[in-house]
Amino acid sequence: MLADITLGQFYPADSFVHKMDPRVKIVLLIVFIVGIFLAKNLIAFIPAVLFVILAARMSRLPVRLLIRSLKPLRFILIFTFILNIFFLQGNLPEGQEPTPVLDWWIIHLTAEGILQALLYSLRLIVLVLGSSLLTLSTSPIALTDGLEMLMTPLKVIRFPAHEIAMMMSIALRFIPTLLEEADKIMKAQTARGADFESGNILKRAKAMIPLLVPLFVSAFRRAGDLAMAMEARCYHGGEGRTRLRVLKCTWRDLWGAAAAVLMVAGCVLISEFVHII
Amino acid sequence: MRIVLEKVGYEYQQGSPFSAVALKDIDLTIREGEFVALIGHTGSGKSTLAQHLNGLIRPTQGTVYYEDEEGRADIHGKGYSKKSLRRQVGLVFQYPEYQLFEETVQKDVAFGPKNLGLDKDEIDARVKEAITRVGLDYDAVAEKSPFELSGGQMRRVAIAGVVAMRPGVLVLDEPTAGLDPGSREELLQMIKGLHDSGTTIVMISHNMDDVARYAGRIVVMQKGTVVMDGTPREIFSRGEELERMGLDVPQSCRLSLMLRKDGFPDFPLCYRPEEVTEALEKLLGGEGRAC
Amino acid sequence: MLKNLIEIENVSFSYEEEGEPAVKNVSLSIPKGAFYAVLGQNGSGKSTLAKLMNGLYKPSSGTVKVYGMDTADDDKTWEIRQRAGMVFQNPDNQLVATVVKDDVAFGLENIGVPTEDMPARIEQALRDVGMQEFADRSPHHLSGGQKQRVAIAGALAMQSDIIIFDEATAMLDPRGRQEVFSVVQQLNRNRGLTVVWITHYMEEAALADRVFVMHRGEVVLEGTPSEVFSHADILKKCKLRQPPVTEIAENLREKGFDISSGVLTAEDMVREVKRLCASSWKK
């Protein structure tokens, strides 16, 4: 299960998307998300899907990796799809009746409902793919640098942009270490007869204590050590800090931005003029 | 009880592009009452092997059996209960103090026995015994938080947590890692005590001087296979091979090898300091005959 | 020219106001280019002493001076820490970044080194510890010894003249230990890096220029390794042991053999045995 989490698992490659400015990529992701929420029907989704496919191709990421990022989502996807199928009737103009497909016992399926459920699932898939594209093609360092820069204007209202970025980058650094540690503690407790897998929810939650307490203790110990090490290396906040990596916008970012704007425009226009459900 | 591994192999993330072979073709029997040292580099498969001994890892090839007079049983076979598995073979991980979690030492040590489903009196008796066995004063520590103790003491409490399950075989993964010489010595004495009272010991170690002093049998691993298996004398007589594999040999062994190479070809191969002293005494005291 | 880079005078330190001091009345000085070892069991105060050397802790009494700067002077803190780098015990808990070269850059960023100067300094530092091929890797995938070498590079890039190693090899396997120790030895010999090596491994202390043995917060022994290791009784009291070869040599001497004191390694012993054999041959 733990191996499924691709978030923060940067996949290095030499590609157009990898070389884009992380700030631009973050902004584009936000634009992209707005775009897919403005797409009101399946046809309007075509630009968004094209955009993801294009970005995926240009990122030179293995398709397998992208598909794997959807894996943890599979239950939610199936669940929402089924739920929507039963409860959605589609957005129909006034007075128009839904087209029944199946009417049996308490189950009433309509064509519009199915399309709507498809739309919701697709939205979720495209959303996750887009975010994964960002995290897979952007090193955690670039990502936090980008976020820090984007948040810098907020410093005016005393928003701790540097501190938050530093926290994020440290979190990213320690996630694999802590996952490994969790695995080890779990095994150690299993060797002492602990059972993490059977029993009802309450029992299982209780069974987590022997895993969580040592994990927290360890995380705090590591935090203490790390704070000491950072101090020894002259860390004293964002004041007067220089950077190894300086972010620069290039023509690539311009092209990326243009593509994203086109995509959003496409989504909105199609939603306006094409009504299929 | 013997642990028998037959053609055991293990592959991480089998079938995925990230798969890696950790063990292959291991045939190994751990006999009752032995003190086995498992040595080899980091990444040689020692720890993975150790986790096979109590069924924490299921081999991707081959079979692990527990065997006694009544016959043998495949520990991953149907009808073999996990509980009896943990009861028979205890596993102490590296830096075991990082698994402590209870409010008091007493409760933490009781965790294992409780999971075995024992009754309260039995649990209390075992906890008391285990804490004493690892060389701690029960009355002094039982009600303390394990997190108040020193590093060395915490490690003992963690080991007591496994000892309290009274396993016939105790597997320890680098039990002395990070300890200073004094605490290391005490801990090894404690392990020796457990062995003397009948527990079979399998100990992973990087410290060859410790291995030479305590183990009756040494299993050397390299790249997921067992490359040597024998008594310390047999293994350390192949000291040069060990050195070529990048493994240490005990200081005494290193000294004997150097003397043999450097003008004293008949110098006996010793692996304990007392033996070297004796041999040197003979060499130097015998009116320089050997020279 | 300054002779002693670190001067510790009558320093005591307690974690709590009223508590038992972790370091008691310690005085020692560390000359430029030295390789000094501090030995002691866990809880002997050796790590506390290390943290007093770069101002991570401020002495409760007495003074610590690094390059003549008092660590109690808050204005000098960052200069002191830049001059006196530190490598800690746990290789996992001191690397900050997710990429090796960014981690080496961390200190440089903190002290405000201009961006354009960084790559060259990082590359040189990584080369000095033999980790240049790993510049773009994630620390998570390195061995313990490699992580420690990256930590050393972090200090070298800051142009620290002194590095204090606080049990930097305690959590490593023999290969990692060897790897880190020999890198440090080379830096000491070839680059004149001043080294304070805190450890409980006798074999490592045996190779230092000078050894300080700490017990219950005090320095109880001080001298060259052979001087220090000849005091079997004091070492035993400190729960430390002589290196096995020294023990063998002492046993033989007790039995009346003319083995000179100061045998620390197998090489020393072979030399002694040969010398004795040659002299008995002459007779």
Contact residues of C toward B, CB < 8 A = 40-43, 143-144, 170-171, 173-176, 200, 202, 239-241, 243-245, 247-248, 251-252, 255, 257, 266-267, 269-270, 273-274, 276-278, 280-281, 283
Residue among B189, B223, B191, B190 nearest B204 (CA): B191
Mean pLDDT in residue range C134-143: 90
Kindly tell me the burial class for residue C243, based on how many C-beta atoms sit within 10 Å of its own C-beta (0-12, 13-18, 19 or more).
buried
Model confidence over A47-74: pLDDT tens digits? 889 999 999 998 888 888 888 888 888 8
Which candidate from B51, B112, B147 shows the least CB-CB separation from A192? Answer: B112
Residues C147, C251 within the same domain: no
CB contact under 8 A, A242 and C108: yes
CA distance B116 to chain A (A): 7
Please, what is the Cα angle at A127 between A60 and A4, to 5 degrees?
70
Confidence check: pLDDT of A5 > 50 = no
CB contact under 8 A, A192 and B115: yes
The chain A residue lying nearest C115, using CA atoms, is: A244
Residues C24, C98 within the same domain: yes
C140 touches A at CB < 8 Å: yes
List the B2-12 sheet strands across, edge first: B20-30, B2-12, B61-68, B71-74
Contacts of A12 in chain C (CB under 8 A): 136
The CA–CA distances, whole Å, from B180 to A69, A211, C83, C271 equal: 46, 28, 30, 30
State residue B202's pLDDT score.
Answer: 97
Model confidence over A194-236: pLDDT tens digits? 888 777 888 888 889 999 999 999 999 999 999 999 999 999 8
And the tokens for A33? 């998300």
Residues C102, C137 within the same domain: yes
Report DSSP state, residue C231.
Answer: -
CA dist B136 and B130 (Å) reads: 9
Q: Which residue has the higher pLDDT, B83 or C211?
A: C211
Model confidence over A134-174: pLDDT tens digits? 888 888 778 888 888 888 888 888 888 888 888 888 888 88
Confidence of residue A1 (pLDDT cuts 50, 70, 90): very low
CB contact under 8 A, C94 and A222: no
CB A174 within 8 Å of CB A221: no
The chain B residue lying nearest A196, using CA atoms, is: B115
Contacts of C273 in chain B (CB under 8 A): 259, 264, 280, 283-284
| Domain boundaries of chain A, sorted by first residue | 2-273
CA dist A48 and B231 (Å) reads: 69
Chain B 145-174, CB below 8 Å of chain A: which residues?
A: 147, 161-162, 165
A192 touches B at CB < 8 Å: yes
Model confidence over C64-88: pLDDT tens digits? 999 999 999 999 999 999 999 999 9
List the C84-87 sheet strands across, edge first: C84-87, C162-166, C194-199, C35-39, C210-215, C218-223
Residues C164, C193 within the same domain: yes
A194 touches B at CB < 8 Å: yes
DSSP string, A28-95: HHHHHHHHHHH--STGGGHHHHHHHHHHHHHHT--HHHHHHTTGGGHHHHHHHHHHHHHH----PPTT
DSSP string, B103-154: SSHHHHHHHHHHHTT--HHHHHHHHHHHHHHTT--HHHHTTS-GGGS-HHHH
Residues C209, C122 within the same domain: yes
Residue among B5, B93, B89, B33 nearest B216 (CA): B33
And the tokens for C251? 């046993």
Model confidence over C263-277: pLDDT tens digits? 888 888 999 888 888
Polymer length in residues for chain B:
291
Q: Which of C102, C122, C148, C162 to mutate to test the interface with A (most CBs of A within 10 A)?
A: C102
Model confidence over A12-55: pLDDT tens digits? 888 888 889 999 999 999 999 998 888 888 888 888 899 999 99
CA dist B72 and A191 (Å) reads: 22
State residue A97's pLDDT score.
Answer: 65
Confidence check: pLDDT of C46 > 90 = yes
CA distance B165 to chain A (A): 8
Amino acid at C120: A
CB contact under 8 A, C42 and B151: yes
CA distance B285 to chain C (A): 8
Domain count, chain C: 2
B13 touches A at CB < 8 Å: yes
Residue among C242, C281, C277, C233 nearest C262 (CA): C242
C91 touches A at CB < 8 Å: no
Residues C248, C221 within the same domain: no
Task: Tell me what ipTM this predicted complex has.
Answer: 0.90
Residues C210, C279 within the same domain: no
Grouped pLDDT means (10 residues each) for chain B, 291 residues: 94 77 94 96 92 92 90 85 84 94 96 93 96 94 94 94 95 93 91 95 93 94 95 89 86 89 87 88 66 51
Neighbour subunits, C (≥3 Cβ pairs < 8 A):
A, B
> Which residues make beta-bridge pairs with B237?
none
CB contact under 8 A, B99 and A218: no
Could you tell me the residue range of the domain that residue C250 belongs to?
243-283
CB contact under 8 A, B161 and A192: yes
Which candidate from A10, A177, A244 shows the least CB-CB separation from C115? Answer: A244
Model confidence over C21-30: pLDDT tens digits? 999 999 999 9
Residues C154, C188 within the same domain: yes
H helices within C114-261, ranges in order? 118-128, 144-157, 174-191, 202-205, 225-229, 232-237, 244-254
CB B183 within 8 Å of CB B153: no
* Largest interatomic CA distance in chain A: 72
Which candidate from A184, A185, A192 shows the least CB-CB separation from B162? Answer: A192
Q: Which residue has the higher pLDDT, A183 or B286?
A: A183
List the C4-13 sheet strands across, edge first: C23-31, C4-13, C61-66, C69-70
CATH code for the domain of C180 = 3.40.50.300
Confidence check: pLDDT of A274 > 80 = no
Model confidence over C146-202: pLDDT tens digits? 999 999 999 999 999 999 999 999 999 888 999 999 999 999 999 999 999 999 898
CB contact under 8 A, B182 and C41: yes
DSSP string, A118-133: HHHHHHHHHHHHHHHH
Confidence check: pLDDT of C40 > 50 = yes
State residue A4's pLDDT score.
Answer: 39
Residues C153, C19 within the same domain: yes
Q: Which residues of C90-123 are buried (b: 16+ CB within 10 A; e: fewer)?
A: bbbbbbbbbbbbbbbbbbbbbbebeeeebeebbb
CA dist B167 and C77 (Å) reads: 54
Residues C81, C128 within the same domain: yes
Share of chain C above pLDDT 90, in %: 72
Confidence check: pLDDT of A93 > 80 = no
Confidence check: pLDDT of C226 > 70 = yes
Mean pLDDT in residue range C241-270: 87
CB A153 within 8 Å of CB C76: no
Residues C151, C257 within the same domain: no
A65 touches B at CB < 8 Å: no
Confidence check: pLDDT of C223 > 90 = yes
